[in-house]
Amino acid sequence: MIRLSGWLVAALVLLAATAWLGLRNGLHQFSQATTVGQELETVSELAYGVLGALACGALLTARRWAVIVVLGWGAAVTAACALAAASWGGAGWGAALAAGMSGAVVALFVVWLAKRALAPS
């Protein structure tokens, strides 16, 4: 087991919140997707939901591969942010790129938190 720290709690809160939102929203909007972009965004959303839940379990049990799962979660979050702006929001590719980069910044922060939580003290 891993020692409970502020780094771990912060990572778990962010991962669990996005896991719940990704699964809830992804399942809800799957039937509403009418374009390929919307379907890809929905799949990305479901992916970060599943990977967020898996990452929580991996972090709680201090698995070596936890950071790899968090990186996968981050990739799915980044893709979903960019695709959502373009496919659901009707924004241009510049706005989609900005949304994707914003998602990537948040994802990198969570990766950093996960690495700090798993680092030996």
Summarised one tens digit per residue, pLDDT across range 64-105 is: 899 999 999 999 999 999 999 999 888 888 999 999 999 999
How do residues 2-55 score in pLDDT, each as one tens digit? 677 899 999 999 999 999 999 999 999 989 998 999 999 999 999 999 999 999
Q: Please tell me the pTM assigned to this model.
A: 0.92
Q: Which two tokens stand for residue 27?
A: 């399942």
121 pLDDT above the threshold of 80? no
Question: What is the per-residue pLDDT for 4?
Answer: 79
Q: Map out the domains of the chain as residue ranges.
A: 6-118
Q: Report the pLDDT value the prediction gives residue 58, as an integer from 0 to 100.
A: 95
> Residue 14, Cα to own-chain centre: how many angstroms?
9
CA distance 103 to 24: 19
